[in-house]
């Protein structure tokens, strides 16, 4: 069963943005649906309950799971689910408060203290998955056959038992659980705090990482270059620390994987994503094979539009010369997204509406606030919270559509309950990317001139390249990093070389790489927080493009099937979810269907050149 503290990681790796502007009245979170305050009596009550519930659970069940009958096993699962729910609620509150201001020492301490306590409380529960995995398959199947309510939880048992071959002794599992707070969790915090505290000097102005990354999308080429060089300088100064973080985490993973008998560094991620290695391999190979017809071809167009002999890394996310600099205020962004959702299905817009009205979105850029954007599901009996850093760009409208899509998905799946609602990462992007695509099509239909259409198309292609090509290049970098770390300590130069080996291949011949770009692996949080996570973006994008192609082909009951898919949450495998649409992710042609949607948009852009 999933760990009670789900990471509130940004769900879309977009070069985040910072700045100011009059975008109307931007909403802020109201976290009181979780707890009214850090010292709320309800929070203390829940912490006290959790401590007792975990201890009681261990007393009542440890060493006894194999002897439970079907109704006894159901009671046990329901008690476990309630513990997961309360722990998730507390950590959601602590985490979201922290993300609102990561530089506030009190918030950081509050989160760390609660994480430590909950880790201690939940240590006695480690026996649960270990004992479940010692029960004979036949005995478990008999329990499912006997009790329909218990059978509903079968996917949880299956996911748990996927780890069965890699399980250590009870004592070792408890030790690993206990030790995690000074292991990977501590290195994660060191990374986060270091990144949040970095200062970049750009033309005499001191900026944080958000403000500096934002310069890479500035219309002024000199500012973009100044931003890129400032990033390179500071990453270079800190590269030994980032190298130490990566070396340690990769080694820690290698040690744990070796003890568990995991065949590859990626195995654990594939198991938690509920996806077969060969499906990921088919995706990876399809994308790498498509580099020339996707990124190489698009960046050649962009090079011409910008009137350059060669693109530099600071041109990759440059706005296009024909781009409209209009700022989209918040109410227009809200209307655009809700209209696009409503055109697809009024129900989708209805589910999204309360996010705007009830303090479920935190939109403004603020000092100390975490970068990027995410939707955090909290727990199944509350509701998700969406975080943005909204700056009124058309891309920010797409990000709003994306994160709201997550929110809608999480609301629909909540009916599955705490243990079955959360989807594996590979399916977690389904509604977000689909919602973004609906909004993009709405904006494209509203384009009044060829130039507007061109800008929208190019922006969408660029986002898809960042989501598919860039993330698969990231995945290849991680695969190479973990493989190389297996042969010994990696110097910063070793890691730099691995980074550059994937960058040239994925971006193509239109690019030249400045000195210092080789350290740009250093700031990407996914490598640290969740190894091999990044392929889930490409998986999600490819899956949705294939799904959207089916929607465009027409069919009366697409909406109905789509909502059923979202309501399933994590209760079904990707094969089962895609079958009603006639799709199968293990078929290499499936990925080509998604990729051809991107190359089709590039075809249209090339045709506009003539």
Model pLDDT for residues 99-108, shown as the tens digit of each residue: 999 889 999 9
Query: What pLDDT score was predicted for residue 304?
Result: 95
Same domain, 157 and 276: no
Same domain, 428 and 513: no
Quick check: 15 pLDDT over 60?
no
Q: Rounded distance, CA 162 to CA 228, Å?
A: 44
Q: Rounded distance, CA 120 to CA 543, Å?
A: 39
Quick check: 25 pLDDT over 90?
no
Q: Rounded distance, CA 205 to CA 545, Å?
A: 42
Collapsing DSSP states into helix, strand and coil, what is residue 361? Answer: strand
Residue 536 Cα distances to 129, 442, 609, angstroms: 25, 26, 34
Among residues 153, 177, 201, the one where a domain terminates is 177
Same domain, 204 and 84: no
Model pLDDT for residues 232-285, shown as the tens digit of each residue: 999 999 999 999 999 999 999 999 999 999 999 999 999 888 889 999 999 999
Query: What pLDDT score was predicted for residue 326?
Result: 73
Residue 594 lies in a domain: no
Same domain, 525 and 567: no
CATH number at residue 95: 1.20.140.70
Nearest in space to 519 (alpha carbons), one of 504, 540, 497, 541: 497
Query: What pLDDT score was predicted for residue 610?
Result: 67
Element (DSSP H or E) covering residue 282:
helix 277-290
Query: What pLDDT score was predicted for residue 170?
Result: 81
Residue 3 lies in a domain: no
Domain count, the chain: 3
Q: Rounded distance, CA 246 to CA 523, Å?
A: 11
Residue 416 lies in a domain: yes
Q: Rounded distance, CA 221 to CA 227, Å?
A: 10
pLDDT band at 229; cut points 50, 70, 90: very high
Q: How far apart are the first and last CA of the chain?
A: 56
Q: What percentage of the chain reaches a pLDDT higher than 90?
A: 69
Collapsing DSSP states into helix, strand and coil, what is residue 206? Answer: strand
Q: Rounded distance, CA 395 to CA 325, Å?
A: 12
Q: What mean pLDDT do residues 419-447 have?
A: 88
Quick check: 519 pLDDT over 50?
yes
Q: Which has more pLDDT, 156 or 605?
A: 605
Q: Rounded distance, CA 46 to CA 53, Å?
A: 10
Q: What is the mean pLDDT of the chain?
A: 90
Among residues 509, 529, 549, the one where a domain terminates is 529
Q: What mean pLDDT do residues 53-75 have?
A: 95
Q: Rounded distance, CA 211 to CA 9, Å?
A: 20
Q: Rounded distance, CA 206 to CA 225, Å?
A: 16
501-505-510-515 Cα dihedral, nearest 10 degrees: -10
Same domain, 314 and 340: no
Least confident of 334-348, 378-392, 419-433: 419-433
Query: What pLDDT score was predicted for residue 164?
Result: 83
Same domain, 106 and 241: no
Please give the angle made by the CA atoms of 593, 598 and 601, to the nearest 5 degrees: 125
Query: What pLDDT score was predicted for residue 12?
Result: 27
pLDDT band at 587; cut points 50, 70, 90: confident
Query: What pLDDT score was predicted for residue 161?
Result: 85
Same domain, 135 and 259: no
Same domain, 348 and 247: no
Q: What mean pLDDT do residues 310-336 have?
A: 89
Answer left, alpha or beta for residue 584, where phi above 0 means left and psi between -120 and 50 means alpha: beta
Q: Rounded distance, CA 447 to CA 441, Å?
A: 10
Nearest in space to 392 (alpha carbons), one of 19, 141, 5: 19
Q: What mean pLDDT do residues 78-88 have?
A: 94
Query: What pLDDT score was predicted for residue 22?
Result: 60
Model pLDDT for residues 543-579, shown as the tens digit of each residue: 999 899 889 888 778 999 999 999 999 888 888 999 9
Residue 597 lies in a domain: no
Q: Which has more pLDDT, 273 or 387?
A: 387
Least confident of 2-6, 41-45, 225-229, 389-393: 2-6
DSSP assignment of 312-335 = -GGGTTPPPTT---PPPPHHHHHH
pLDDT band at 20; cut points 50, 70, 90: very low
Same domain, 205 and 273: yes
Model pLDDT for residues 147-189, shown as the tens digit of each residue: 999 999 998 898 888 888 898 888 898 888 888 889 899 999 9
Model pLDDT for residues 355-376, shown as the tens digit of each residue: 999 999 999 888 888 888 888 8
163 within 8 A of 173, measured Cβ to Cβ: no
**Beta-strand pair 205-207/200-202:** antiparallel
Same domain, 440 and 543: yes
Same domain, 161 and 51: yes
State whether the Cα torsion 336-339-344-346 is positive or negative.
positive
Residue 78 lies in a domain: yes
Angle between helices 430-445 and 330-344 (to 10 degrees): 100
Quick check: 126 pLDDT over 80?
yes
Collapsing DSSP states into helix, strand and coil, what is residue 160? Answer: helix
Residue 207 lies in a domain: yes
Q: Rounded distance, CA 431 to CA 410, Å?
A: 9
Structural domain boundaries enclosing 515: 189-322+469-529
Query: What pLDDT score was predicted for residue 3?
Result: 31
Residue 457 lies in a domain: no
Answer left, alpha or beta for residue 7, where phi above 0 means left and psi between -120 and 50 means alpha: beta
Residue 343 lies in a domain: yes
Element (DSSP H or E) covering residue 397:
helix 394-413
Same domain, 128 and 193: no
Model pLDDT for residues 476-513, shown as the tens digit of each residue: 999 999 999 999 999 999 999 999 999 999 999 999 99
Q: Rounded distance, CA 603 to CA 4, Å?
A: 46
Q: In what order do the strands lie in the sheet with 361-362?
A: 361-362, 385-387, 374-376
């Amino acid at each position: 069963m999933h760990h009670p503290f789900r990471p509130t990681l940004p769900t879309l790796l977009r070069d985040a943005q910072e700045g100011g502007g009059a975008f109307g009245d931007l909403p802020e979170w109201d976290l009181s649906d979780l707890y009214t305050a850090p010292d709320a009596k309800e929070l203390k009550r829940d912490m006290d309950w959790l401590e007792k519930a975990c201890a009681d659970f261990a007393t009542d069940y440890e060493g006894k799971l194999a002897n439970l009958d079907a109704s006894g096993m159901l009671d046990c699962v329901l008690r476990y689910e309630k513990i997961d729910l309360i722990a998730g609620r507390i950590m959601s509150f602590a985490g979201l408060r922290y993300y609102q201001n990561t530089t506030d020492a009190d918030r950081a301490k509050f989160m760390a203290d609660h994480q430590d306590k909950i880790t201690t409380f939940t240590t006695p529960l480690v026996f649960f998955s270990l004992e479940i995995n010692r029960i004979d398959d036949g005995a478990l199947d008999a329990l499912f056959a006997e009790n329909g309510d218990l059978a509903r939880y079968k996917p949880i048992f299956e996911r748990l038992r996927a780890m069965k071959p890699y399980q250590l002794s009870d004592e070792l599992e408890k030790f690993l659980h206990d030790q995690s707070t000074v292991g990977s969790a501590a290195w994660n915090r060191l990374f986060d705090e270091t990144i949040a505290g970095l200062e970049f000097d750009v033309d005499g102005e001191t900026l944080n990482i958000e403000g500096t990354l934002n310069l890479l999308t500035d219309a002024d080429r000199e500012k973009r270059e100044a931003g890129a060089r400032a990033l390179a300088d500071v990453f270079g100064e800190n590269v030994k620390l980032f190298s130490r973080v990566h070396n340690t985490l990769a080694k820690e993973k290698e040690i744990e994987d070796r003890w568990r008998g995991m065949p590859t560094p990626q195995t654990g991620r594939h198991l938690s994503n509920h996806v077969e290695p060969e499906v990921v391999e088919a995706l990876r190979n399809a994308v790498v094979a498509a580099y020339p017809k996707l990124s190489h071809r698009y960046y050649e167009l962009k090079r011409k539009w910008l009137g350059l002999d060669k693109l530099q890394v600071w041109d990759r996310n440059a706005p296009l010369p024909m781009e409209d600099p209009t700022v989209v205020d918040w109410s227009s962004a809200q209307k655009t997204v809700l209209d696009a959702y409503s055109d697809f299905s009024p129900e989708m817009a209805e589910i999204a509406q309360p996010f705007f009205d009830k303090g479920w979105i935190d939109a403004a850029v603020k000092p100390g606030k975490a970068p990027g954007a995410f939707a955090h599901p909290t727990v199944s009996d509350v509701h998700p919270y969406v975080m943005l850093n909204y700056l009124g760009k058309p891309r920010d409208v797409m990000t709003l559509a994306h994160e709201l899509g997550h929110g809608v998905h999480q609301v629909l799946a909540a009916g599955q309950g705490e243990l079955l609602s959360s989807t594996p990462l590979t399916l977690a992007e389904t509604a977000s990317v689909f919602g973004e695509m609906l909004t993009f099509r709405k904006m494209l239909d509203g384009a009044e001139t060829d130039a507007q259409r061109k800008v929208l198309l190019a922006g969408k292609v660029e986002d898809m390249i960042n989501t598919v090509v860039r993330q698969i290049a990231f995945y290849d970098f991680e695969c190479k990093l973990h493989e190389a770390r297996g042969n010994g300590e990696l110097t910063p130069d070793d890691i730099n070389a691995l980074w550059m080996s994937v960058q040239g291949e994925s971006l193509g011949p239109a690019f030249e790489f400045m000195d210092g770009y080789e350290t740009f692996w250093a700031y990407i949080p996914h490598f640290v927080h969740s190894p091999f996570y990044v392929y889930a973006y490409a998986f999600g994008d490819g899956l949705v493009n294939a799904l959207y192609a089916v929607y465009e082909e027409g069919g009366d009951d697409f909406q109905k099937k789509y909502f059923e898919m979202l309501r399933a949450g994590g209760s079904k495998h990707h094969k089962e979810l895609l079958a009603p649409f006639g799709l199968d992710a293990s078929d290499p042609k499936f990925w080509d269907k998604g990729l051809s949607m991107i190359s089709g948009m590039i075809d249209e852009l090339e045709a506009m050149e003539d």
